[in-house]
Chains A and B, each alone.
Chain A
């Protein structure tokens, strides 16, 4: 959605004036604050705009999707692909329920002979015959327009910190990209980042590490003071210590952002309590 839209809706008792400037705006509030009345009024107006006695002023069409009719609408909109018959279209599909959307799109594109370039942000690379697209490079432009301030050093429990840098197309300001730790070791870093992030790695070796789903796996590991750093995305021990050394030169000590991530397992309560300190 571009810009913002005023919605004015009123009858003899009630007068609503909303300014909507987001694709999804959630209306919430106390019971009896008028949320349902707004929907009731709009629905009554749409049922019979001319003689409902309800006035709606808006530059765009306003409709009420109910449990009965939303499926009908959501089925009708993809049919708009018909307008692109024999032509090309580009789409970015949000990751929410991308599988079903991409499946439906593929079927519809076959049906209407539309050549669609469909990019799904959960799969960062999109390969065509001519080119490899990195969707995060595209989206980082827009994401950065929403960003204010200086780039932080993300002290991340696992590789999600690296994902953030990738999604923003930033140079990683941390040596912790694509690393993971035991909860205990990560908390040690949080308590004393200066000590650990200023140190070099020692004794890079293949070590057994428990993966997120609690399965044992061998990864390159290294000693960092009294803790172990694991590199689950690396297949080679060579160059790991050098990479750590280079990245740690970029640390923004003025802005450290701590990132604890939960995957399949729940984080133990004592770890959350320690982390929240």
Chain B
């Protein structure tokens, strides 16, 4: 397990999805991967495959047609995952707030960990956001790797076995 933790921390792969943005943040993400800002020094690689990604970079207010794809991509990323919302319109809808075909921000559909402001977000801000996302990713990995005791005391909720409550964490039992 320590093996995965080390490599997840050293090489977080990003998945980029444009949910209706104006391209401004997308080209800034490309620029921050390029030599001057060099996001790749953190081990970041832009992948097109959600199943290999750890960090989900989303740009744009969610448009009517992109929301199903947004949720589907989110569910395909394996745990632990971090969502970074790049750009003002991703957080609140920005200038597109209230337009007929937009949904005012992605946090209506998927949970967001880091908001990066700016229209368009500058590469410095994007790097800042990703470094923050790395911390969150590390914390999430630790949380996920805590050992579970699968069969604790039998618990029922409304005459049904509650498997979720039975799967308690080991250190909780000891306390």
Chains A and B come from one and the same complex: no
Chain A residues within CB distance 8 Å of chain B: none
Chain B residues within CB distance 8 Å of chain A: none
